[in-house]
Chain A
Amino acid sequence: MNEYRISIRRRRILLRILFWFTLAMNIVIGELFVRNILPDQRTFTELANNFSRIVYFGFLIYLGFAIHNCTKLLQNEAILKEKYIASRDERSLFIREKVNRIAFDVFFAVLFCATFIASLINMAVFHTLVAVLAFVVILKAVLQVYMERKY
Protein backbone atom coordinates (compact mmCIF):
# COMPACT_ATOMS: atom_id res chain seq x y z
CA MET A 1 0.00 0.00 0.00
CA ASN A 2 2.84 2.39 0.90
CA GLU A 3 4.58 1.53 -2.37
CA TYR A 4 1.41 2.43 -4.23
CA ARG A 5 1.23 5.78 -2.40
CA ILE A 6 4.85 6.48 -3.38
CA SER A 7 4.13 5.52 -7.01
CA ILE A 8 1.16 7.94 -7.07
CA ARG A 9 3.38 10.70 -5.66
CA ARG A 10 6.00 9.99 -8.34
CA ARG A 11 3.33 9.96 -11.04
CA ARG A 12 2.04 13.33 -9.85
CA ILE A 13 5.55 14.83 -9.96
CA LEU A 14 6.12 13.46 -13.48
CA LEU A 15 2.73 14.74 -14.64
CA ARG A 16 3.45 18.21 -13.23
CA ILE A 17 6.84 18.29 -14.97
CA LEU A 18 5.21 17.18 -18.23
CA PHE A 19 2.42 19.78 -17.84
CA TRP A 20 4.79 22.71 -17.32
CA PHE A 21 7.20 21.45 -19.97
CA THR A 22 4.40 21.17 -22.56
CA LEU A 23 3.17 24.66 -21.67
CA ALA A 24 6.67 26.16 -21.71
CA MET A 25 7.52 24.51 -25.05
CA ASN A 26 4.46 26.04 -26.66
CA ILE A 27 5.31 29.52 -25.33
CA VAL A 28 9.01 29.25 -26.29
CA ILE A 29 8.31 27.90 -29.80
CA GLY A 30 5.54 30.49 -30.26
CA GLU A 31 7.92 33.30 -29.25
CA LEU A 32 10.63 31.94 -31.59
CA PHE A 33 8.14 31.97 -34.46
CA VAL A 34 6.78 35.46 -33.60
CA ARG A 35 10.27 37.03 -33.33
CA ASN A 36 11.30 35.20 -36.49
CA ILE A 37 14.28 33.58 -34.77
CA LEU A 38 12.97 30.24 -35.97
CA PRO A 39 11.13 30.83 -39.26
CA ASP A 40 7.82 28.99 -39.43
CA GLN A 41 7.98 27.11 -42.73
CA ARG A 42 5.06 24.84 -42.04
CA THR A 43 2.18 24.76 -44.49
CA PHE A 44 -0.90 24.06 -42.45
CA THR A 45 -4.40 23.59 -43.75
CA GLU A 46 -7.14 25.01 -41.53
CA LEU A 47 -8.19 21.47 -40.59
CA ALA A 48 -4.64 20.43 -39.60
CA ASN A 49 -4.19 23.64 -37.62
CA ASN A 50 -7.41 23.10 -35.67
CA PHE A 51 -6.60 19.43 -35.14
CA SER A 52 -3.15 20.22 -33.73
CA ARG A 53 -4.72 22.79 -31.37
CA ILE A 54 -7.31 20.26 -30.19
CA VAL A 55 -4.59 17.64 -29.60
CA TYR A 56 -2.38 20.11 -27.72
CA PHE A 57 -5.07 21.60 -25.47
CA GLY A 58 -6.72 18.22 -25.06
CA PHE A 59 -3.43 16.82 -23.81
CA LEU A 60 -3.03 19.74 -21.36
CA ILE A 61 -6.56 19.22 -20.04
CA TYR A 62 -5.89 15.48 -19.68
CA LEU A 63 -2.70 16.23 -17.71
CA GLY A 64 -4.61 18.66 -15.50
CA PHE A 65 -7.26 16.04 -14.72
CA ALA A 66 -4.60 13.38 -14.08
CA ILE A 67 -2.78 15.67 -11.61
CA HIS A 68 -6.07 16.48 -9.88
CA ASN A 69 -6.90 12.75 -9.60
CA CYS A 70 -3.50 11.97 -8.08
CA THR A 71 -3.93 14.77 -5.54
CA LYS A 72 -7.42 13.52 -4.66
CA LEU A 73 -6.07 9.99 -4.18
CA LEU A 74 -3.27 11.17 -1.90
CA GLN A 75 -5.69 13.20 0.22
CA ASN A 76 -8.26 10.44 0.71
CA GLU A 77 -7.05 7.19 2.26
CA ALA A 78 -10.28 5.26 1.51
CA ILE A 79 -10.21 6.10 -2.22
CA LEU A 80 -6.48 5.32 -2.32
CA LYS A 81 -7.09 1.86 -0.84
CA GLU A 82 -9.94 1.22 -3.28
CA LYS A 83 -7.78 2.24 -6.24
CA TYR A 84 -4.90 0.15 -4.92
CA ILE A 85 -7.08 -2.97 -4.82
CA ALA A 86 -8.53 -2.16 -8.25
CA SER A 87 -5.05 -1.64 -9.73
CA ARG A 88 -3.97 -5.09 -8.52
CA ASP A 89 -7.20 -6.86 -9.40
CA GLU A 90 -6.27 -9.80 -11.62
CA ARG A 91 -9.55 -9.86 -13.54
CA SER A 92 -9.14 -6.18 -14.52
CA LEU A 93 -5.55 -6.85 -15.60
CA PHE A 94 -6.71 -9.89 -17.59
CA ILE A 95 -9.44 -7.83 -19.30
CA ARG A 96 -7.00 -5.00 -20.04
CA GLU A 97 -4.47 -7.42 -21.56
CA LYS A 98 -7.15 -9.05 -23.69
CA VAL A 99 -8.51 -5.69 -24.87
CA ASN A 100 -4.98 -4.47 -25.68
CA ARG A 101 -4.20 -7.63 -27.64
CA ILE A 102 -7.39 -7.43 -29.72
CA ALA A 103 -6.98 -3.66 -30.24
CA PHE A 104 -3.39 -4.16 -31.39
CA ASP A 105 -4.38 -6.90 -33.86
CA VAL A 106 -7.15 -4.72 -35.32
CA PHE A 107 -4.86 -1.67 -35.40
CA PHE A 108 -2.17 -3.66 -37.21
CA ALA A 109 -4.65 -4.95 -39.81
CA VAL A 110 -6.05 -1.43 -40.38
CA LEU A 111 -2.53 -0.01 -40.64
CA PHE A 112 -1.62 -2.66 -43.18
CA CYS A 113 -4.69 -1.84 -45.30
CA ALA A 114 -4.04 1.91 -44.98
CA THR A 115 -0.45 1.42 -46.15
CA PHE A 116 -1.62 -0.51 -49.18
CA ILE A 117 -4.26 2.11 -50.06
CA ALA A 118 -1.73 4.95 -49.53
CA SER A 119 0.63 3.30 -52.01
CA LEU A 120 -2.06 3.86 -54.68
CA ILE A 121 -2.70 7.50 -53.79
CA ASN A 122 0.17 9.37 -52.13
CA MET A 123 3.82 8.29 -51.89
CA ALA A 124 4.67 10.61 -48.96
CA VAL A 125 1.88 9.13 -46.87
CA PHE A 126 2.87 5.65 -48.06
CA HIS A 127 6.48 6.10 -46.88
CA THR A 128 5.31 7.42 -43.51
CA LEU A 129 2.96 4.49 -43.03
CA VAL A 130 5.63 1.99 -44.10
CA ALA A 131 7.96 3.48 -41.48
CA VAL A 132 5.23 3.20 -38.82
CA LEU A 133 4.48 -0.37 -39.92
CA ALA A 134 8.17 -1.33 -39.77
CA PHE A 135 8.49 0.29 -36.33
CA VAL A 136 5.48 -1.63 -35.01
CA VAL A 137 6.79 -4.96 -36.39
CA ILE A 138 10.28 -4.38 -34.92
CA LEU A 139 8.84 -3.26 -31.58
CA LYS A 140 6.65 -6.37 -31.40
CA ALA A 141 9.57 -8.67 -32.26
CA VAL A 142 11.85 -7.03 -29.67
CA LEU A 143 9.15 -7.23 -26.99
CA GLN A 144 8.50 -10.89 -27.87
CA VAL A 145 12.20 -11.76 -27.43
CA TYR A 146 12.43 -9.70 -24.22
CA MET A 147 9.34 -11.27 -22.66
CA GLU A 148 10.41 -14.80 -23.63
CA ARG A 149 13.73 -14.26 -21.88
CA LYS A 150 12.13 -12.62 -18.88
CA TYR A 151 9.50 -15.33 -18.26
Chain B
Amino acid sequence: MQSKLCIYSKGGIHTETTIKQLRKERKLSQDDLARAVGTTRQTITSIECGKYIASLPLAMKIARFFGKPVEEVFLYDETL
Protein backbone atom coordinates (compact mmCIF):
# COMPACT_ATOMS: atom_id res chain seq x y z
CA MET B 1 0.00 0.00 0.00
CA GLN B 2 1.52 3.29 -1.08
CA SER B 3 1.27 6.29 1.16
CA LYS B 4 -0.17 9.44 -0.41
CA LEU B 5 2.45 12.12 -0.24
CA CYS B 6 0.93 15.22 -1.76
CA ILE B 7 -2.47 16.69 -1.26
CA TYR B 8 -4.29 19.35 -3.24
CA SER B 9 -7.54 20.62 -1.83
CA LYS B 10 -9.48 23.52 -3.27
CA GLY B 11 -13.16 24.29 -3.81
CA GLY B 12 -14.33 20.91 -2.58
CA ILE B 13 -11.97 19.07 -4.94
CA HIS B 14 -9.46 16.90 -3.16
CA THR B 15 -6.58 15.26 -5.06
CA GLU B 16 -3.54 13.36 -3.95
CA THR B 17 -0.51 12.21 -5.92
CA THR B 18 2.10 9.53 -5.39
CA ILE B 19 4.52 10.93 -7.97
CA LYS B 20 7.22 11.83 -5.47
CA GLN B 21 7.25 8.38 -3.96
CA LEU B 22 7.24 6.65 -7.35
CA ARG B 23 10.05 8.91 -8.49
CA LYS B 24 12.14 8.22 -5.40
CA GLU B 25 11.62 4.47 -5.81
CA ARG B 26 13.09 4.72 -9.32
CA LYS B 27 15.84 7.13 -8.18
CA LEU B 28 14.75 9.77 -10.66
CA SER B 29 15.12 13.51 -10.32
CA GLN B 30 12.29 15.91 -11.13
CA ASP B 31 14.28 16.97 -14.17
CA ASP B 32 14.50 13.36 -15.43
CA LEU B 33 10.75 12.91 -15.07
CA ALA B 34 10.06 16.28 -16.70
CA ARG B 35 12.22 15.38 -19.72
CA ALA B 36 10.59 11.96 -20.01
CA VAL B 37 7.05 13.35 -20.11
CA GLY B 38 7.91 16.49 -22.09
CA THR B 39 7.30 19.16 -19.52
CA THR B 40 9.36 21.42 -17.25
CA ARG B 41 10.83 20.68 -13.84
CA GLN B 42 8.77 23.53 -12.37
CA THR B 43 5.55 21.83 -13.47
CA ILE B 44 6.58 18.55 -11.84
CA THR B 45 7.47 20.45 -8.64
CA SER B 46 4.08 22.17 -8.60
CA ILE B 47 2.20 18.91 -9.20
CA GLU B 48 4.20 17.16 -6.47
CA CYS B 49 3.59 20.00 -4.01
CA GLY B 50 -0.09 20.05 -4.85
CA LYS B 51 -0.07 23.60 -6.15
CA TYR B 52 -1.17 22.59 -9.62
CA ILE B 53 -3.41 19.81 -10.96
CA ALA B 54 -2.07 18.14 -14.08
CA SER B 55 -4.22 18.03 -17.20
CA LEU B 56 -5.52 14.66 -18.35
CA PRO B 57 -2.90 14.22 -21.12
CA LEU B 58 -0.03 15.00 -18.74
CA ALA B 59 -1.52 12.79 -16.01
CA MET B 60 -1.74 9.94 -18.55
CA LYS B 61 1.86 10.50 -19.64
CA ILE B 62 3.13 10.45 -16.05
CA ALA B 63 1.09 7.36 -15.20
CA ARG B 64 2.30 5.54 -18.33
CA PHE B 65 5.88 6.50 -17.58
CA PHE B 66 5.60 4.80 -14.18
CA GLY B 67 3.64 1.89 -15.68
CA LYS B 68 0.68 2.48 -13.38
CA PRO B 69 -2.96 3.31 -13.93
CA VAL B 70 -3.80 7.02 -13.59
CA GLU B 71 -5.97 6.28 -10.55
CA GLU B 72 -2.94 4.98 -8.68
CA VAL B 73 -0.83 8.06 -9.36
CA PHE B 74 -3.56 10.68 -9.02
CA LEU B 75 -6.27 10.08 -6.45
CA TYR B 76 -9.33 12.23 -6.90
CA ASP B 77 -12.05 12.83 -4.36
CA GLU B 78 -14.87 15.33 -4.69
CA THR B 79 -16.33 16.26 -1.32
CA LEU B 80 -19.05 18.77 -2.00
Task: Enumerate chain A interface residues (CB-CB to B < 8 A).
Answer: 85-86, 88-92, 94
Interface residues on chain B, size class: 10 to 19
A89→B39 contact, CB < 8 A:
yes
Task: Enumerate chain B interface residues (CB-CB to A < 8 A).
Answer: 34-35, 38-40, 42-43, 46, 52, 54-55, 58
Q: Out of A88, A91, A94, name the residue touching B38 (CB < 8 Å).
A: A88
- A-B pair count, CB < 8 Å, reads 26
Nearest-neighbour CB distance to chain A for B38, whole angstroms, equals: 6
Give the residue name and chain of the A residue nearest to B45 (CB).
A91
Nearest-neighbour CB distance to chain A for B8, whole angstroms, equals: 13
A92 to B55, CA, bound (A): 13
A-B contact list, 9 entries, CB within 8 Å:
A85-B34, A85-B39, A88-B39, A89-B39, A90-B58, A91-B43, A91-B52, A92-B40, A94-B52
**Residues of chain B lying within 8 A (CB to CB) of residue A90:** 39, 43, 54-55, 58
**Residues of chain B lying within 8 A (CB to CB) of residue A85:** 34-35, 38-40
